[in-house]
Amino acid sequence: MNPLSDRTRLIASATQRGRGRRPVNPPVERASTMLSDKTASMRDETLGPVYGLEGTGTAHALRHALADLERAADVFLVPSGLAAITVPILALTRPGDEVLTTDALYGPSRRFLTRHMAARGVTTRFHPAGADARQVAEMITDRTKLILIESPASLTFEMLDVPALATAARARSVLTVMDNTWGAGLAFRPLAHGVDVSAQAVTKYVSGHSDLLMGSMAVDAPAIRRAVADAIEDMGWHVSPDDASLALRGLRTMTLRMAEQARSALLVAAWLQARPEVSRVLYPPLTGSVGHALWKRDFTGASALMGVVMRGGNTQDAQAFLDALSLFGLGYSWGGFESLITHETGQMDWRKQKPDLEGELIRIHVGLEDPADLIADLEVGLTAWRTQQDSNLQHPA
């Protein structure tokens, strides 16, 4: 038989035969305490989890489906996407080790490295956001234990040559962890490209409905599997069965949502790129965008998250633009069914090298609305941007 497509596979794992009469969806099993029949069997793990902290059947069904998605030996769940980045770093580094990562790293991951890990003797070196695999590999030292990869990077969307980087890291016995939230385990599969841990915020596309927080880590190698499992056990992380059930529900429709949102995002990106108010759209699937060649080579799909570099402007202009919109929600996070927009103000200051941007930086997430309606809404926003710019000229600060 032909290998099943992802779209089929994510559903076939629900309807698999041979499991007896049962509901399509696994029941939500809420438990701290698990009961046994006999004292002698209380610790028998072949009978199922001994204690709720190990996760009940609901979480196990989600782990199983995510492992199938990521083509991984195992997937572990933690209470947020951020925890899916912090757990493997805690599990795989020791005092004196060094982590190498991009200067355009997701802000909270960066804060974890520079505040929490630095205070515990693990230092971090940042490579330029636009570095190629050779330049990153040249920064590996005897102390480098782990490379934390994020591609495309946060806010400025630079792409890394992940297969080349994973190969270079392996040659030096350096581990690799990838924040693959943008690729979502569907548009890009880190493990197949030689990465050791594929982490993602389930919060985003797997959930798809902006109503839960969760992270996952997909792993293959037995030693890494054990290290991550031990770290979760030692720290006492757990995800609620209700959230696991919602994430599993989201996962069944993820291929369709992601494909549709990526199609709309490309239309919105191309429209914005042609506007005089816009200098550049940072969206690797868009021809001419930063990272397009690597995206085309390695990715089979896309998220609908992009950056928009305006032509000049200031905070007031950006606020006028965003406040004039009615369809784009003003909120953080992304991956849900709804379109969102934010104005980037603070996090660029954290970087070693501030990117050279021609104007204000806006971040857009395209949802499942009709793209023609979204474009009409953005047109209203850009008119407000221009009006605000004109009034700046008439009343200079």
Ligand X SMILES: *Cc1c(COP(=O)(O)O)cnc(C)c1O
CB of 85 to ligand X, least distance (A): 6
* Count of other CB atoms within 10 angstroms of residue 332: 8
What is the three-class DSSP state of 365?
strand
C-alpha span between 228 and 251 (Å, rounded): 23
Residue in the block written with tokens 């270079």: 168
Cβ-closest residue to ligand X?
Answer: 81
82 binds ligand X (CB under 6 A): yes
DSSP string of 324-341?
T-SSSEE-S---SSS-EE
Tell me the window of 63-71, 78-86, 128-136, 307-315 that interacts with ligand X (CB under 6 A): 78-86
- How many residues bind ligand X (CB under 6 A)? The answer is 13
Number of H helices, E strands in the chain: 13, 12
Nearer to ligand X, 106 or 283 (CB): 106
* Count of other CB atoms within 10 angstroms of residue 360: 23
Nearer to ligand X, 9 or 238 (CB): 238
C-alpha span between 142 and 279 (Å, rounded): 42
For residues 199-228, which are near ligand X according to CB under 6 A?
201, 203-204, 213, 215
Do 153 and 124 contact (CB within 8 A), yes or no?
Answer: no
Nearer to ligand X, 84 or 166 (CB): 84
For residues 132-191, which are near ligand X according to CB under 6 A?
154, 179, 181
CB of 35 to ligand X, least distance (A): 33
Binding-site member from 29, 98, 106, 183 for ligand X (CB under 6 A): 106
Nearer to ligand X, 294 or 382 (CB): 294
What is the three-class DSSP state of 228?
helix
Tell me the window of 74-82, 88-96, 278-286, 389-397 that interacts with ligand X (CB under 6 A): 74-82
Do 185 and 69 contact (CB within 8 A), yes or no?
Answer: yes
Do 91 and 228 contact (CB within 8 A), yes or no?
Answer: yes
Nearer to ligand X, 102 or 144 (CB): 102
Residues at the site binding ligand X, with contacts judged by CB under 6 A: 80-82, 106, 154, 179, 181, 201, 203-204, 213, 215, 333
